Amino acid sequence: MPKFLTIFRRELAAYFTSPIAYLVAFAVLLLTGLIFNNDLAQRNGHQSTDGTIVLSWFAFFTLFFAPLITMRLMAEENREGTIELLMTLPVNDSDIVIGKFLGAWAYYTIILAITGIYQVITVWLSPPDVGTIIAAYIGLWLYGGAALAVGILFSAITENQIVAGFLGLAAMLILWLADQVGTIVNNRTLAVLARTFSFQSHYVYSFALGLVRFDDIVFFVGVIAALLFTTTRVVESRRWR
């Protein structure tokens, strides 16, 4: 079995032995559940149902819980000294980072998959535009991966999980709100540039509307690849300190 799969399996299993992971899943599902229920109640009989409302909120919540999922990934190894063991095993540094990232992404995917219950209810009540919902899920999954990649980078640079969590959260807020730059700066070029790097603009104004565009997919996949590469370099830099 490839080394990163061994690490992936251990990381995914670790989520299910820690109470924090259950609490995160519980909180996310409780919040989205309330929003879903509220949305249905408001629309009752007046409007057709829309399965993507709850997903837009899920995207917003991801800002806050993605750093919670990833903060321990590298920071805990740094603090406990287990990183020294991992780095003296016949395993490439990239295997460590990729395995851990995939573990977090799989956990995120499980939480995301649970929201599928809302879609089942929506379909049962009145069939919505299923294509839009599928597009939103694809986008949410990719965007979540990018958010986790941001988190793992900050987890690698510190030994303190709380610091990793806060830095990840701050970075995510900046990346999410970057497209608002256009409303405060009087410079079109700068606004367009900022918007290019905004996670929100690549999700809310495309996948969430039912658009699966090649450039948005490339954006999120590229962000994930670039951040994992940087994280690997950060981990590697421990050898030179």
Among 10, 120, 209, 225, binds another protein (CB under 8 A): 10
CA distances (Å), 155 to each of 69, 123, 173, 180, 184, in order?
Answer: 10, 40, 17, 27, 31
Near another protein by CB under 8 A: residue from 41, 183, 186, 241: 241
**For residues 218 and 69, what is the distance between their CA atoms, to the nearest angstrom?**
24
Using alpha carbons, select from 168, 176, 171 the residue that is nearest to residue 203.
Answer: 176
- Given a contact cutoff of 8 angstroms between Cβ atoms, the answer to whether 155 and 71 are in contact is yes
Of positions 7, 75, 97, 228, contacts another protein by CB under 8 A: 7
Q: How far is the CB of 231 from another protein (least distance, A)?
A: 18
CA 108/CA 97 separation, integer angstroms: 16
* Region binding another protein by CB under 8 A among candidate stretches 25-33, 83-91, 137-145, 159-167: 83-91
**14 near another protein (CB under 8 A):** yes
Q: Is 23 a residue that touches another protein (CB under 8 A)?
A: no
Whole-number minimum distance, CB 10 to another protein, in Å?
Answer: 5
| Phi, psi angles (nearest 5°) of residue 17 | -105, 0
91 counts as binding another protein under rule CB under 8 A: yes
Nearer to another protein, 5 or 170 (CB): 5
Q: How far apart are CA 100 and CA 94, in angstroms?
A: 10
Closest to 152 (Cα-Cα) out of 221, 218, 71, 63: 71
Which range of residues in 61-69, 89-97, 165-173, 189-197 is near another protein by CB under 8 A? 89-97
CA 142 to chain CA centroid, nearest Å: 8
81 binds another protein (CB under 8 A): yes
Binding segment for another protein among 12-20, 27-35, 119-127, 152-160 (CB under 8 A)? 12-20
Tokens 């900046």, located at residue: 174
Measured CA to CA, the distance from residue 221 to residue 207 in angstroms comes to 14
Q: Does 45 participate in binding another protein (rule CB under 8 A)? A: no
Binding site for another protein (CB under 8 A): 1, 3, 6-7, 10, 14, 17-18, 80-82, 84-92, 238-241
